[in-house]
Amino acid sequence: MQLVIFDLDNTLLAGDSDYQWGQYLIEIGLLNGDEHTAKNEQFYADYKMGALDIYAFLEFQLKPLSQHPRKKLDEWHQQYMVEKVLPMITDKARALVEEHRSKGDLLLIITATNSFVTRPIAKEFGIDYLIGTTPEEINGEFTGRVSGTPSYQEGKITRLNEWLASRGQTVADFDATWFYSDSHNDLPLMKLVDKPVAVNPDPILASYAAAHGWPQIDLR
């Protein structure tokens, strides 16, 4: 069996699920648009440079989850899926997932975006297994803090190994391992797998992939 891992934002999605969640909350009047957008753009600039302070970003990202009841968050998320997420899913992305599914591969999404935002998106792709950054919950409500290791940069390897260990497996147990990603921030995990694939890559990843003979594909 092959293990096939997908990054989510700007890989399987033609856009960023966390950014669009923020935009949705702005549109329904729950966030200040100018303030949120300015902070988000600075975090994104840091991300593109590989200099993101993941804990500062998560404090920003998870704070809105702590300010509203879980029931309301779930209701808003259903509408967010319709308005923001479905338009970001391309036929090419769905076809790639189905190609691997038809071969009996084990499919996994691993993303730095929190699992509240991303789990329903994984479900939309028919992918049962998701490793996202885990928002802390107490009595079913979000605290605004992170639980465990964020699945970002080397943290993706940590979280992957923890997930595999919970299944009694290691990376070496698979006939082949794949990882599809758009971002140079994912180079640690891309270097770990047998078959790294750059998807609509950022300039740094595109250059690295070309230098190392990695395939580059377009899912747009």
List, run by run, the mean pLDDT of 10-residue segments along the chain (220 residues): 98 96 95 90 88 91 95 98 98 98 98 98 98 97 97 97 98 98 98 98 98 98
What was the pLDDT predicted at 44?
A: 84
What was the pLDDT predicted at 116?
A: 98
Q: What CATH fold (topology level) applies to the domain 2-217?
A: Rossmann fold (3.40.50)
Instruction: Give the alpha-carbon dihedral of 14, 15, 17, 23, to 10 degrees.
Output: -140
Contacts of 95 (CB under 8 A, 6+ apart): none
Matching residue, tokens 């950014």: 19
What was the pLDDT predicted at 48?
A: 83
Number of other residues whose CB lies within 10 A of the CB of residue 196: 23
Query: Which residues have a catalytic role annotated?
Result: 7, 9
What the block records as the tokens of 180 is 């599809």
What secondary structure letter does DSSP report for 82?
A: I
Instruction: Give yes or no for a contact between 209 and 216, defined as CB atoms under 8 angstroms apart.
Output: yes
Give per-residue burial for 79-115: e unless 16+ CB within 10 Å, then b: ebbeebbeebbeeebeebbeebeeeebbbbbbbbbbb
Domain locations along the chain: 2-217
What was the pLDDT predicted at 53?
A: 94
What was the pLDDT predicted at 47?
A: 87
Of 55, 25, 56, the C-alpha closest to 39 is 56
